[in-house]
């Protein structure tokens, strides 16, 4: 490992960068290909290296370089914006990635900055920070207040009190007025959020990732695009993901599977977001002990404009209150919400109480619009859809098992859905009731769950994934 040559420690490599405008620390594998065992915790402050340093890169060479026992504590010391990039590195907290966890891999906080993880692997870390009790237990592998960009990276087997893999805290404003977080084609697998701390409330949230903002902070976009969130666990809400107080968020093209929440939101928990969208995603076999086997949305503190479109919710379970697929908690009716659920396929979900597909509690009349969706073969003690404490759903052009009195253009015939594909959708039979039965008035999207054109010759199917049974126009 070197900043040029001859350095055997990260600290030694950083010392070589004195006076540089841009810095690079390259990790060179051992000649025999064995793991590069550093067992070094490094405090990195670019201002102390060079007052003009604007970027600092930590990178592997050739194929991904495996580094064991390195922990990076990054800060700009309240100074100018510095970009830190980790690329082509496999950071291991324990030998072979098995048994126990080592202390958190990366902390990036204190001043404005950008943290990038590109083509990396992080495994076997735990959020331990005895020197800073406020950060102890937050983010098993990564804790940051900087702008966060993660691409083509896998984080697995990590543990924290909140944010089993990642805790991105944008509430402090350290990352700048428009600080955001972006995860693209990232795999979060077998991470855990559990445990507690003396005098600290709200533990066990976000088994995979916890995005935190503040309503007054005006944060940038929180985005989860592509990738997979699988087999993560939270002892409270958000088995896979928690998004809290975001001004704007996006979950797009993701597969969220086999995640577990000890309370609500087996895969995803959204709390008091002002605006956001879930699109072209699949929620499969997630579990919650309370509401929302797949998704729970709590919008009790401020009005919300939210969309869940072109997605599949399949085989999710809420063993407590209703809403196996999705649960919406909308407050006391004093706030204005605009929540649309369009072109969804909710199939084979189950709930211990009412609302096997959807549960709406609170809010105003018709705060929630449901259209062009299939709700079929879901099971609960009462009904497919539960409306309570003033909450109501304006539904149209849907296929609902058992029908739905009072709604518009509801079909109760079997949509004859096929097997669940690897991509996370089911296709209806080409001669079934879903074909050409959708409402063009309600539809807002021109593409389906697979990102293919949805509207063909002015007709639309009722399903998350267009059936493809018609010929597309050639002009």
pTM: 0.92
**Residue linked to tokens 């003009």:** 52
Residue 29 in contact with residue 67, Cβ under 8 Å? Answer: no
CA distances 169 to 154, 211, 237, 292, Å, are 20, 6, 17, 25
pLDDT in tens, 58-116: 898 767 788 888 889 998 876 668 899 999 999 998 644 444 456 899 999 887 889 99
Residues listed for the chain: 475
> To the nearest 5 percent, what fractions of the chain are helix, strand and coil?
5, 40, 55
202: alpha, beta or left? (left if phi > 0; alpha if psi -120 to 50): left
Give the Cα separation of 127 and 135 in Å (integer). 8
Residue 374 in contact with residue 344, Cβ under 8 Å? Answer: yes
pLDDT in tens, 248-280: 999 999 999 999 999 999 999 999 998 999 999
Give the Cα separation of 209 and 463 in Å (integer). 29
For residue 470, what pLDDT is reported? 42
149: Cβ contacts below 8 Å, ≥ 6 apart: 114, 115, 116, 117, 181, 182
**Residue linked to tokens 């990038």:** 116
For residue 276, what pLDDT is reported? 93
Residue 311 in contact with residue 465, Cβ under 8 Å? Answer: no
Work out the end-to-end distance of the chain between its first and last CA atoms, rounded to an integer number of angstroms: 58
Alpha helices in 232-347 (DSSP H): none
Half-sphere exposure of 281 (CA within 13 A, CB side): 26
Which of 192, 131, 186 is CA-nearest to residue 163? 192
Residue 167 in contact with residue 126, Cβ under 8 Å? Answer: no
For residue 41, what pLDDT is reported? 82
For residue 468, what pLDDT is reported? 53
Residue 230 in contact with residue 196, Cβ under 8 Å? Answer: no
For residue 46, what pLDDT is reported? 81
* pLDDT tens, per residue, the chain with 475 residues: 444 445 777 877 887 776 666 788 888 777 777 788 877 788 888 877 777 788 889 898 767 788 888 889 998 876 668 899 999 999 998 644 444 456 899 999 887 889 999 999 999 999 988 788 888 899 999 999 999 999 999 999 999 999 999 999 987 655 554 568 999 999 999 999 998 765 556 799 999 999 988 654 455 689 999 999 999 999 999 999 999 988 899 999 999 999 999 999 999 999 999 899 999 999 999 999 999 999 999 988 888 899 999 999 999 999 977 788 999 999 888 888 999 999 999 999 999 987 899 999 988 878 999 999 999 999 987 788 988 877 789 999 999 999 988 789 999 999 999 998 888 888 888 888 888 888 877 666 667 777 776 665 567 888 776 655 443 333 3
For residue 391, what pLDDT is reported? 78
Give the Cα separation of 144 and 155 in Å (integer). 15
């Amino acid at each position: 490992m070197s900043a040029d040559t001859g350095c055997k420690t990260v600290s030694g490599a950083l010392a070589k960068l004195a006076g540089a405008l841009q810095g690079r620390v390259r990790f060179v594998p051992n000649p025999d290909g064995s793991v590069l065992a550093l067992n070094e915790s490094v405090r990195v402050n670019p201002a102390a290296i060079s007052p003009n340093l604007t970027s600092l890169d930590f990178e592997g060479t050739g194929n991904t370089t495996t580094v064991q026992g390195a922990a990076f504590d990054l800060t700009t010391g309240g100074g100018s914006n510095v970009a830190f990039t980790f690329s082509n590195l496999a950071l291991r907290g324990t030998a072979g990635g098995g048994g126990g966890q080592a202390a958190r891999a990366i902390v990036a906080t204190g001043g404005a900055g950008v943290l990038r993880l590109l083509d990396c692997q992080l495994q076997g870390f735990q959020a331990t920070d005895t020197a800073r009790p406020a950060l102890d237990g937050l983010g098993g592998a990564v804790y940051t207040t900087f702008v966060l960009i993660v691409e083509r990276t896998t984080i697995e087997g990590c543990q924290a009190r909140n944010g089993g893999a990642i805790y991105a805290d944008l509430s402090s404003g350290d990352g700048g007025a428009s600080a955001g977080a972006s995860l693209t084609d990232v795999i979060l697998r077998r991470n855990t959020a559990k445990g507690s701390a003396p005098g600290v409330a709200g533990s066990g949230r976000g088994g995979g990732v916890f995005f935190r903002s503040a309503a007054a902070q005006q944060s940038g976009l929180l985005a989860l695009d592509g990738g997979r969130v699988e087999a993560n666990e939270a002892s409270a809400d958000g088995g896979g993901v928690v998004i809290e107080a975001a001004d704007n968020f996006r979950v797009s093209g993701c597969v969220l599977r086999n995640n577990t929440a000890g309370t609500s939101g087996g895969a995803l928990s959204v709390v008091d977001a002002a605006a956001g969208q879930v699109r072209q995603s699949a929620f499969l076999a997630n579990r919650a002990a309370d509401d929302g086997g797949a998704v729970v949305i709590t919008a009790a503190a401020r009005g919300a404009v939210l969309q869940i479109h072109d997605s599949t919710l399949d085989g999710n379970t809420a063993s407590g209150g209703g809403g196996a697929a999705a649960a919406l908690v909308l407050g006391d009716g004093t706030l204005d919400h605009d929540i649309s659920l369009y072109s969804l396929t909710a199939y084979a979900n189950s709930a211990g109480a009412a609302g096997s597909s959807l549960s709406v509690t609170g809010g105003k009349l018709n705060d929630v619009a449901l259209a062009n969706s299939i709700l079929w073969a879901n099971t609960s003690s009462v009904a497919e859809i539960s409306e309570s404490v003033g909450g109501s759903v304006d539904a149209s052009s849907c296929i609902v098992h058992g029908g739905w009195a009072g709604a518009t253009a509801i079909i109760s015939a079997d949509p004859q859905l096929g097997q669940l594909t690897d991509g996370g959708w089911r296709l209806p039979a080409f001669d079934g009731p879903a074909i050409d039965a959708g409402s063009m008035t309600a539809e807002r999207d021109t593409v389906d769950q697979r990102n293919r054109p949805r509207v063909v010759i002015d007709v639309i199917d009722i399903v998350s994934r267009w059936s493809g049974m018609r010929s597309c126009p050639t002009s």
